[in-house]
Amino acid sequence: MAASARALELTRIAAEAASDKLAEDIVALDVSDTLVITDVFLLCSAANDRQVRAIVDGIEEALDRIDVDPVRREGERDGRWVLLDYVDLVVHVQHSEERTYYGLERLWKDGARIALPESVTRPASTRSGSGAGEGADAG
């Protein structure tokens, strides 16, 4: 069984939102053959707690625009590893140190990688110069 079309669409939107907030190492894994509770894990990381929170906020805002809210949210207080559960999609936003230590990619290595747009998978340092969102008028 492959990830549902809905899961893939939510993954794309969440990955783009994470990318806009300069998340690093954005990876999507199809875990639908392994887990019955979700289709996709979206993993991304940040260099500090504040950026973890910014990425989480960006993902929530993007999915809220299409009336999708998480059914569960964990880890926000510490800002080191925040989990957003959208049923079809589970997002893990981790501090870089937690990402290395827990190695979710290794744990879920049987999950096929889902192709993400090149604009999402480019290194964050090359995305920051794109001007996306920089100097945007709030009104």
Question: What's the pLDDT at 16?
Answer: 97
Q: Which residues contact 124 (CB under 8 A, 6 or more apart)?
A: 22, 23, 24
Whether residue 104 contacts residue 96, with contact meaning beta carbons closer than 8 Å, is answered with: no
Domain ranges within the chain, ordered by starting residue: 5-115
Q: Please check the confidence at residue 18 and state whether its pLDDT lies above 80.
A: yes
Q: Please check the confidence at residue 48 and state whether its pLDDT lies above 80.
A: yes
Q: The dihedral of CA 125, 126, 132, 136: what is its sign? A: positive
Name residue 24's amino acid.
E
Hey, what CATH class is 5-115 in? Answer: alpha beta
Whole-prediction pTM = 0.86
Higher pLDDT, 138 or 124: 124
Distance CA 106, CA 96 (A): 15
Question: What's the pLDDT at 128?
Answer: 59
Q: Please check the confidence at residue 137 and state whether its pLDDT lies above 80.
A: no
Question: What is the percent of the chain with per-residue pLDDT over 70, rounded to a whole number?
Answer: 90
Q: Please check the confidence at residue 103 and state whether its pLDDT lies above 50.
A: yes
Name residue 37's amino acid.
I
